[in-house]
Amino acid sequence: MSVDVFAPAHRIAAQVRSGEVGAEVVVRAFLERISRIDPKVNAFTDVTATRALAQAAAIDRARAAGEPLGPLAGVPFAAKNLFDIEGLPTRAGSKINRERTPACRDAVLIERLTAAGAVLIGGLNMGEYAYDFTGENAHDGPCRNPHDLSRMAGGSSSGSGAATAAGMAPISLGSDTNGSIRVPSSLCGVFGLKPTYGRLPRTRSFPFCDSLDHLGPFARDVTDLALAYDLLQGPDPHDPACAQRPVEPVSAQLTKGVSGLRIALAGGYFATDGLPEAAAAVGAVAQALGATRTVALDGAQIARAAAFLVTNAESAALHLGRLQLRAEDFDPDTRDRFLAGTMLPAAWYIQAQRARRWFHDQMMRTFEEVDLVIAPATPCPAPPIGQKMLEIRGQILPLRPSLGLFTQPISCIGLPVAAVPVAGDGLPIGVQLIAPPWREDIVLKAAHVLQEMKICTAEPPKAI
């Protein structure tokens, strides 16, 4: 039988488990699609075909032997190239890291999906060292938006958003420090989950900014997103920021709906006046979920500034040695920001960490009155590749930092967020569903409602 590359992952796994289709057939279909489509999109930097085919064959042998198969049996997935992949140098979007010793073991989240039967098919393009919202990369070339190849995929998890949107990987893994899962989810029109800070261990992934780094999944289907999230959960002793919580599965409650939840629209800093596509998407989601009030979220601008400074200072400190020895080998679009970050006065950084704590406490008060907050994910759909400035509410602003305007204050305090795609008339655009810490169940249940109502869908791209 032919393989539908846009079928949900859980359906592919069910077909593999039942024997309707072999894992090797599935994997070969996706490898063929990657070889045909990816030269246009540029989502993959490595395709791990040999490993993938060997694992798929092992799954087929296991089934033939009557052994039980995992919940993602035979489902291809791919990971942003800051995740360690055994046998590959972890490049993290850079030129410099290609000289690293190849990883001797997969990142823990790759191991967890693999243990569930999912098949790693490659490493994905990303902005250099994750300091990016565009998906552009001087070393590997820009990752292109599958809905319009002349436009940005969004970053920094550009390949994750694009590969999943383009039917090249039903599930992908990315990281989000200031919006790097939510921005490409929005621009590529897929679902993305940034869990609570500390929920998923970052063990054996290349860091960007320890105070703010999160990892999470992308999918084209909410059931897949929740399933992947459930399989990724669990403590790991090697990430000091991991909260070491037990697995709190969401999949079984996914269809329980949102009745009884107090749902609010974010106003103030998050208002969408003058942002027509974002306004339409947020309005559609708010109406569908029955949002009854608006909350101002005072202090979001301060949180955004705090995230900017914490990111700049921590990431620059991480890269100081490389900046001293070989700054010319950095992508020019990240280099000068890293260099500036090495020089920030300590008082700025410390005040940013104080402001972070303050905004967190503000938001916890808000969550005494509401259970779910709706906010735009990006101010606009995907801009053209190469665009440098962005008009937001009549102001001309630098595009690179501005794409994360609405995501940055939220990751600053580690709240769980589902980015949900609204297809729109032309390009998709995402909306953030934001819940209190550790309540990923709320954002995923709301995302499921929106998918059932067909308000939020990951539409197959027409451009490829």
Partner 1 sequence: MNEAKRGFDPAAHLDAMAPSLGLTITTEQRQGVIRFLAAAQAMAEIVQAAPVAEDTLELAPVFRPGLAGVEEEA
Task: Specify the residue, 377 or 412, whose C-beta has the smaller distance to partner 1.
Answer: 412
Say which residues have a Cβ less than 8 Å from residue 266's Cβ, sequence separation at least 6.
294, 295, 297, 373, 374, 375, 434
β-pair type (191-194, 293-295): unpaired
Task: Specify the residue, 279 or 362, whose C-beta has the smaller distance to partner 1.
Answer: 362
Residue whose token pair is 């938006």: 145
Partners of residue 429 on adjacent β-strands: 422
Q: How far is CA 265 from the centre of its chain?
A: 22
Task: Tell me how far, at minimum, the Cβ of 249 lies from partner 1, in Å.
Answer: 19
CA–CA distance, 148 with 378 (Å, rounded to integer): 17
E-strand stretches of 125-205: 144-145, 148-152, 171-176, 191-194
Catalytic annotation, pick one of 94, 160, 175, 180: 180
Task: Specify the residue, 162 or 302, whose C-beta has the smaller distance to partner 1.
Answer: 302
Task: Specify the residue, 65 or 343, whose C-beta has the smaller distance to partner 1.
Answer: 343
Task: Tell me how far, at minimum, the Cβ of 185 lies from partner 1, in Å.
Answer: 21
| Both tokens assigned to 276 | 């027509």
CA–CA distance, 151 with 384 (Å, rounded to integer): 4
Residue whose token pair is 């919940």: 71
Closest listed residue to residue 156, CA positions, set 171, 142, 139, 170: 142
Task: Specify the residue, 44 or 406, whose C-beta has the smaller distance to partner 1.
Answer: 406
Asked if residue 238 lies in contact with residue 265, where contact means CB atoms within 8 angstroms, the answer is: no
CA–CA distance, 173 with 193 (Å, rounded to integer): 10
Residue 75 CB-half CA count within 13 A: 33
The residues binding partner 1 (CB under 8 A) are 196-198, 211, 240-241, 243, 299, 301-302, 304-306, 308-309, 312, 320, 323-324, 327-328, 332, 335-337, 339-345, 348, 350-361, 364-365, 368, 401, 413-415, 436-438
| Both tokens assigned to 397 | 């602003």
Task: Specify the residue, 11 or 139, whose C-beta has the smaller distance to partner 1.
Answer: 139
Task: Tell me how far, at minimum, the Cβ of 320 lies from partner 1, in Å.
Answer: 7
Catalytic annotation, pick one of 94, 156, 157, 158: 156
CA–CA distance, 157 with 82 (Å, rounded to integer): 10
Catalytic annotation, pick one of 80, 185, 251, 315: 80
Task: Tell me how far, at minimum, the Cβ of 326 lies from partner 1, in Å.
Answer: 11
| Both tokens assigned to 114 | 């693999």
Asked if residue 125 lies in contact with residue 93, where contact means CB atoms within 8 angstroms, the answer is: yes
Task: Specify the residue, 300 or 382, whose C-beta has the smaller distance to partner 1.
Answer: 300
Identity of the amino acid at 124: L
Task: Tell me how far, at minimum, the Cβ of 285 lies from partner 1, in Å.
Answer: 23
User: What one-character DSSP code corresponds to residue 205?
Assistant: B
User: What one-character DSSP code corresponds to residue 140?
Assistant: T
Catalytic annotation on 80?
A: yes
Residue whose token pair is 């990369």: 137
Task: Tell me how far, at minimum, the Cβ of 334 lies from partner 1, in Å.
Answer: 10
Task: Tell me how far, at minimum, the Cβ of 224 lies from partner 1, in Å.
Answer: 25
Residues annotated catalytic, as ranges: 80, 156, 180
